[in-house]
Chains A and B, each alone.
Chain A
Amino acid sequence: MLRVESVFKSFDEFMAVNGANLQVEKGEIVAVIGPNGAGKTTLFNLITGLLKPDRGRIIFKEEDITPLPPYEICRKGITRSFQIVNIFPRLTVFGNVQVAVLSHQRRSSNLFRSAERIAVKETREILETVGLLDKENLVAGSLSHGDQKILEIAIALGNEPELLILDEPTAGMSPEETQKTMELIKRLAKMRELTILFCEHDMEIVFSIAQRIMVMRHGRTIIQGTPEEVRSHPEVQEAYLGEEYARG
């Protein structure tokens, strides 16, 4: 479904992504792991068009999406959530998700109908799925951090994506919230037949829900494979798992 073919991206002298490869098949849950600064977020920014690669190609459903602007990539069926909360703080929770739903239904430029009555069902459905329906009338900026991260995912669902990209969905969450969010992601994958690509710091989470894992280091792909393959890969153990697991 998604193929990232030896992509490079540098900021001045720093090679943030230095030949990354990634393959995601339909219906899979794929995780990208790697130490801080390995280039995970940059990779996601490249896939979703926020940044343009210096070299390499990104193919989605047999189509080269590398040169497209973010809004067109979104319309092809890829949406994302952000690592650092990136919502509409002055709008209501409902309004946040509705913006995405309206955009998906191509009704954002409707000038004369009242927005209160458009796309209400679809928006509520999403809020219900993620468990924010009881907070729909609150201003998004007033939510707790955990709820804002959930809202992140809800906004991304508004476009009914085929591929959902989650950039550290549980960053800054309490253990209980993390648990709940992971359940949610699993549920979403099943209910909506979503393909999910995510990155995450917590190794337990990654190995418990990802079907395949890609490991990055210094912007380079070390390996992509099943959790077992990844766990037994020598360079991975040395580079990444070693630090975490040796201690734990």
Chain B
Amino acid sequence: MGDKRKPSNAVWILGIIFLFLIFIPPFAPRFFTYILGLIFVTSLVAMSLNLVVGFGGMFQFHHGVFYGVSAYATALVLTKTSLATWIGFMAGPIVATLTGLIIGWFCVRLTRLYFGMLQISLGSLLWAIVFRWYSFTGGDDGIHGIRMPSLLMSLNNSYYFILAIFILSLLLMYKILKSPFGNTLQAIRDNPQRCEAVGINVRRYQLLGILIATFFAGVAGVLFVILERSVFADLLFWVLSLEILIMCLLGGWFTFFGPILGTAIIISLRTFVGKYTEYWTLILGIILILVIFFLPEGVMGYVQEVLKPKMKEVKQEEKGIDASSGIGF
């Protein structure tokens, strides 16, 4: 808890990365900027999922639905109504959180695997509606050419907007995880029975966790519309949910930044290896097997593990494992 060294190191590293990200667009090719933007957006979904999966221990198997619902809500407001753009942007997270409330209310009443199965069913139902309701959602065509305010017309401007919201969301999520609620959520993950015994209404806190996670997935949905100017039904398909689950697993369940790393790995593979072979998922599969066997805590979890002994030497820890206070970097 009183580890003063690690935060300042981490802040330095993050600061440098941040500066780097700010200076990229003018110098990098458009495509590169676009891929970075896509990594931010997808990372945000993965991190919001990790709030409930990694830190909350819930089987949130169909998180992509909330991302997709938000993207559709934004797209529909922007194309079917003449409401102001910001209303469309607000609609995404609100609709996502409401969907989270309804699906979550049922899910927290079930235990573990049943929670996950029910979520997949309810989520697939929403996917089917979006996929079939041709006149309203455009079915499998999706919605294209969504108008944006002039400020967000250029890719570079969109990039900066996405980066800003992304970082703001990260700060908020970090703060929430370090708050009493964040601690309680992790305690519920570790031992729900004991939480009940100390007076915590476990279901209510799990639902609150789902609401927060679906809200941030909703934010990511809006950013997706800003980046792509189009939406399609695949956003709600279970395959995407599985993919973001893998991103968390790959990066590290129990780390805060792990999902970003996982997302970056998967998107880079798909983009750069996918160019040469359509069997890029084969490489992903092999990487995944290696990670599960050799780095069960994910790539970021491994990095943390390597850094830890050094910290201990510095602090001259006498015995026992020093606590990283739940959230690593």
Spell out A's residues near B (CB within 8 Å): 48, 50, 69-72, 74-75, 79-80, 82, 86-92, 94-95, 98-100, 102-104, 107-116, 118-119, 135, 137-139, 142-143, 155-156, 158-159
Contact = CB atoms under 8 A, between A and B. Distances in A.
Contacts of A103: 184, 195, 198-200
5 contacts: A88-B187, A94-B1, A99-B198, A103-B198, A112-B179
B183 A91 contact: yes
Given A102-B184, A137-B1, A137-B2, A114 B198 contact: no
A34 to B, nearest CB: 23
Contacts of A71: 195-202
Given A100-B198, A155-B194, A138 B1 contact: no
A74 B201 CA distance: 11
A86 B198 CA distance: 12
4 tightest Cβ-Cβ pairs between the two chains A and B: A74-B199, A100-B198, A70-B196, A92-B323
Contacts, number: 140
A143 B320 CA distance: 8
Contacts of A75: 199
A156 B197 CA distance: 8
B140 interface: no
Interface string B89-105: 00000000000000000
A99 B195 contact: yes
B245 to A, nearest CB: 21
A137 to B, nearest CB: 5
A139 to B, nearest CB: 5
Contacts of A89: 190-191
A228 B282 CA distance: 75
A113 B200 contact: no
Nearest to A152: B194
A95 B183 contact: yes
Nearest to A105: B180
B82 to A, nearest CB: 35
